A and B are shown apart, each in its own frame.
Chain A
């Protein structure tokens, strides 16, 4: 589904990703772990098409298409979804209207009929249950005045509504207390299917207690220094990033 080869990317002339490789197949959950500054968020933003970041080398194929040549909206319409580490507050834009616009944009791109407000209301109610969110949520402006946990839950609500093929979750666990983490993780687990894939970017192992990855990759200084199964996260938790780096000679 997703093939990343020798990806080099950075911001303002500073290279952050320095040869990132990964292959993600349908039905898989990949955890990308790494210390601060290792390039985790850069990877997420580059995949979503944030123009602040420049790709200097390498390729990214999503279902055989060159993702890097596509506009952010075209990536989204094709099924790529980024759950933001810091979701943006958008005053004056109603959450429900925004979700409906996004939902319909995706429907339209798939050649399906757009949902009218009433139809969408039913869909939204169902998705709200999935992420255990209150209906009041959707009548507020997008993320405005939301707590950290509410913002993250709103990202997962969007994921549920848009039903992406590839979801990149950028530190969705950061800033969440235990209860909120459980809710968010439950929501994510409900969205995992054999025909989609998740790249879970995280700093800590704790979310992996709730979501079981098929693969764990450790990122340091812009490239993967070690890959393994779910046990690698446990090993990492015990040893720490520095120790793993030393062992791999990175």
Chain B
């Protein structure tokens, strides 16, 4: 059986019994070996169960028992341009690579004016034209990978994005990757993959949008590997828009940061049925920093699970995590983070903070910021709060003539603002802010 015939009446889990990974499309021996290795790793890991801590709250059944077909090639003309346009930020500096149901859409993409040596193209093309530039980095996280879905991605992905920014190259334009999921006759599965390599003292800004178009019904299992070279500066912004669709989305992002590199990461999520986002950071050199900010807006029965792992293996690195969520309806959100400071990683500085705002009595927020410290002379802070709008603040605003609804709206927007302020590019922030305010208005009225 091959990945191309994954639809079985027995579901996703069953489709992997007696399965062998298909030959790598490019015919590269090393690439095939990588997929084979991933498959073997999956065989030893198996699927997770809810007895396992990282999967405790995740309704795995909807994925493992779901039946998904491989996607067909969607013709670009069938995609409403306006549906995609809302995710772009109409900046001339935006280099777009667009994928629909996992397949690259040349017609919807535009890349131009990149500095010399910068590679920004579909992985399939990079593997065909310059495989040796991909080879040292693709699958760098595989050896330590414990997430079975990330491992499956490694032997199932069809295409992806390769971004390479050479040493000493600052790029001011935005690299925008849009993964759109569109409705097909039956539910589909696809495996987005991104590989980002920033060379020594390179600078880049990457925006990744995962969008579920109206009527979409899919399981998306994405993996991103990001390698930040010495002294590089990387901004990595991700948006997940599940909307009112049946989208199931798992995403794994692995950052490897060399000495003195600086990562700024923003993660936004909303909608869909199920989202699980797992991120890890490994500091591979001293004086590196990783700043994470996250924000989500959930309503209806959406569920979101954000897991983060930061490993301070070497001294003098800084990590910050700040996650916020507004939860309405019967939505559920988990923030689960572990910061580990290894022996000898003195001078480590970490901070984990999460806040969930519950707009309804049926919404649930879980927060578990955790620390494991094996060395002295570190500064590690963690905190979490799950709660409703402050009654005193509501009364204060109402006593000035704002209606109950207006007061709730003002305070909820203020809660969101803290997560959005300072985000760049400005167009990205303004689009997101506009969207968030509109969404929150609707939720307050409910």
Contacts and interface: CB of A to CB of B under 8 A. Distances in A.
B406 A72 contact: no
Contacts, number: 73
A71 B407 CA distance: 13
Contacts of B411: 90, 93
B426 interface: no
A87 interface: yes
A98 B410 contact: yes
Given A91-B414, A92-B414, A73 B396 contact: no
A105 B391 CA distance: 20
B77 to A, nearest CB: 43
A72 B400 CA distance: 8
Given A90-B414, A98-B410, A51 B401 contact: no
Given A92-B417, A101-B402, A72 B395 contact: yes
Contacts of A73: 398-399, 401-404, 407
A76 interface: yes
B418 A91 contact: yes
A84 B396 contact: yes
Interface string A78-99: 0001101001101111000010
Contacts of B402: 73, 101-102, 105
A201 to B, nearest CB: 15
A109 B401 contact: yes
Contact of B398 (A72, A81, A84): A72
A49 B399 contact: yes
Given A90-B414, A92-B418, A105 B398 contact: no
A106 B400 CA distance: 9
Nearest to B416: A92
B399 A162 contact: no
Contacts of A49: 395, 398-399
A131 interface: no
Given A51-B395, A88-B392, A92-B418, A77 B401 contact: yes
A172 B188 CA distance: 64
Q: Which residue, A52, A71, A92, has most C-beta atoms of chain B within 10 A?
A: A92
Interface residues of A, number: 29
A102 B395 contact: no
Given A73-B404, A101-B406, A93 B398 contact: no
A69 interface: no
A235 B391 CA distance: 40
B67 to A, nearest CB: 45
Interface residues of B, number: 23
A91 B411 CA distance: 9
Contacts of A52: 391
A197 interface: no
Nearest to A103: B401
Contacts of A38: none
B399 A82 contact: yes
Interface centre among B400, B402, B407, B410 (most CB of A within 10 A): B400
Given A92-B415, A93-B410, A87 B401 contact: no
A50 interface: yes
Interface in A37-53: 48-52
A162 B396 contact: no
A156 to B, nearest CB: 13
A196 interface: no
Contact of A102 (B390, B393, B400, B404): B400
B418 A158 contact: no
A168 B79 CA distance: 60
Q: Which has the most chain B C-beta neighbours within 10 Å: A51, A71, A93?
A: A93
B410 to A, nearest CB: 6
Interface in B375-421: 390-393, 395-404, 406-407, 410-411, 413-415, 417-418
B399 A72 contact: yes
Best-buried of B398, B406, B407 by chain A (most CB within 10 Å)? B398
B392 A106 contact: no
B420 to A, nearest CB: 10
B399 A48 contact: yes
Contacts of A82: 399
A82 B395 CA distance: 11
Most chain B CB neighbours (cut-off 10 Å) among A73, A88, A93, A105: A73
Contacts of A77: 401
Choose among B393, B395, B414, B418 the residue with the greatest number of A CB atoms under 10 Å from its CB. Answer: B395
Contacts of B392: 88
Nearest to A87: B396
A191 B232 CA distance: 59
A141 B397 CA distance: 13
Contact of B400 (A51, A76, A92, A109): A76
Interface in B137-190: none
A72 B390 CA distance: 16
Contacts of B397: 90, 98
Interface string A87-127: 11011110000100110011001000000000000000000
A92 B417 CA distance: 6
Given A90-B411, A105-B406, A162 B398 contact: no
Given A51-B395, A71-B398, A92 B413 contact: yes
Contacts of A158: 400
A88 B400 contact: no
A76 B407 CA distance: 13
A225 B147 CA distance: 74
Interface of B: 390-393, 395-404, 406-407, 410-411, 413-415, 417-418
Given A101-B410, A102-B400, A102-B402, 8 more contacts: A52-B391, A73-B398, A73-B402, A76-B399, A92-B413, A92-B418, A105-B401, A106-B401
5 contacts: A48-B399, A71-B398, A72-B399, A88-B393, A162-B400
